[in-house]
Amino acid sequence: MVQPIVRLQNVSKRIGGRTIIDKLTLDLPLGEVFGFLGPNGSGKTTTIRMMVGLMSLTEGEILINGHSIAKDYEKAIRYVGAIVENPEMYKYLSGYDNLKHYARMIPGITEHRVHEVVKLVGLEGRIQDKVRTYSLGMRQRLGVAQAILHKPQLLILDEPTNGLDPAGIRELRDYLRVLSKEEGIAVFVSSHLLAEMELMCDRVAIIQNGKLIDVRTIRGTGSMTDQSRVIIEVDRPQGAVEALLAAGHSAVPEGGQAIAVETDRDGTAAINALLVSAGFKVYGIRTHVKSLEDQFLEVTGGERIG
Ligand SMILES: Nc1ncnc2c1ncn2[C@@H]1O[C@H](COP(=O)(O)OP(=O)(O)OP(=O)(O)O)[C@@H](O)[C@H]1O
Ligand SMILES: [Mg+2]
């Protein structure tokens, strides 16, 4: 990986003798939507507060584009846009006037940039309306527009889907993808909802009791999601399992005429060819792609989240 936009190195936070964050290590590249998934109280907000310099670290280091947030705050924070708590908005002003108000506080923000962010979050149609007439999802988008005004390379959102309906969640997902792919920025989003993270993110880190349990790739050429459980129906399941085991595959009987194999796409074709050439009748092959939830349950041994 080239220099990550954000690097957490062995980050710990203790408050009153209690360890809230325990040796967290993470790297995020540009252009990725990165999910930070964990149940209530697992330490998501605490981590984010440390990332944006709202809270000190007990141990470790957070580097943003190579600059330490603790030792070199001014330089580091320049690359960051964030919504940690509810964004401050003037409800009696229009969305546009709110953005202009913030733009005035940051040097170098042009009128053009204000229009650009409005377009990016899809608020063109309503930007002249007063914020008090906005739905929750629209306020959320205005918050994102405000957070990206200064062209940060890292956008951090703490539970951005809270309170949104499915349509709002989908819109959020779409424009976060636009931001990450077209503007090339890294997006760090926290959530306690598995299904959402799975749809929204390229990679997901799972945190529990302040500890990083796992990081999984959801999209692209990632490792885990390529591996699937393939169910094959054959005339002689026991014989098929033996033949596959002998050929180095991990096959188990599934009951009835079904057997289950852990493999990828090419492996599925090879197994089919092997069975047919060995004289088995293959009646059906179906692939069960593991969802993040399946993977999460495997990793944590069954403790559910969300
Ligand atoms: N200032 C503080 N003083 C003491 N304990 C704190 C403080 N801030 C957070 N905690 C504790 O740290 C743990 C993690 O809290 P945090 O808010 O980071 O969790 P979270 O993952 O964001 O949860 P949620 O999904 O509910 O937002 C909790 O047990 C919380 O009580
Ligand atoms: Mg939180």
Is the CB of 20 within 6 Å of ligand 1?
yes
Strand, coil or helix: 164: coil
Element (H, E) at 102: helix 95-105
Is the CB of 42 within 6 Å of ligand 1?
yes
Which CATH number is associated with domain 6-217?
A: 3.40.50.300
DSSP tag of 94? B
Which residue's alpha carbon is at the smallest distance from atom 12 of ligand 1? 20
Domain ranges of the chain: 6-217, 228-288
At 278-297, the pLDDT tens digits run: 999 999 999 876 666 666 66
Report the predicted TM-score, pTM, of the whole model to 2 decimal places. Answer: 0.76
Residue in this structure with the two tokens 């959320």, named with its chain if needed? 140
Is the CB of 17 within 6 Å of ligand 1?
no
Is the CB of 46 within 6 Å of ligand 1?
yes
C-alpha torsion angle, residues 124, 128, 130, 135 (rounded to 10): -10
Could you identify the atom of ligand 1 that is nearest to the CA of residue 39?
25
Nearest one of 215, 204, 126 to 171, comparing CA atoms: 126
Which CATH number is associated with domain 228-288?
A: 3.30.70
* pLDDT of 88 above 70: yes
What is the band of 301 on the pLDDT scale with cuts at 50, 70, 90? low
User: What residues sit around ligand 2, an ion, with C-beta below 5 angstroms?
Assistant: 44-45
Q: What is the distance between the alpha carbons of residues 231 and 272, in angstroms, rounded to a whole number? A: 11
Q: What is the distance between the alpha carbons of residues 128 and 271, in angstroms, rounded to a whole number? A: 61
The better pLDDT of the pair 274, 165 is held by 274
Strand, coil or helix: 16: coil
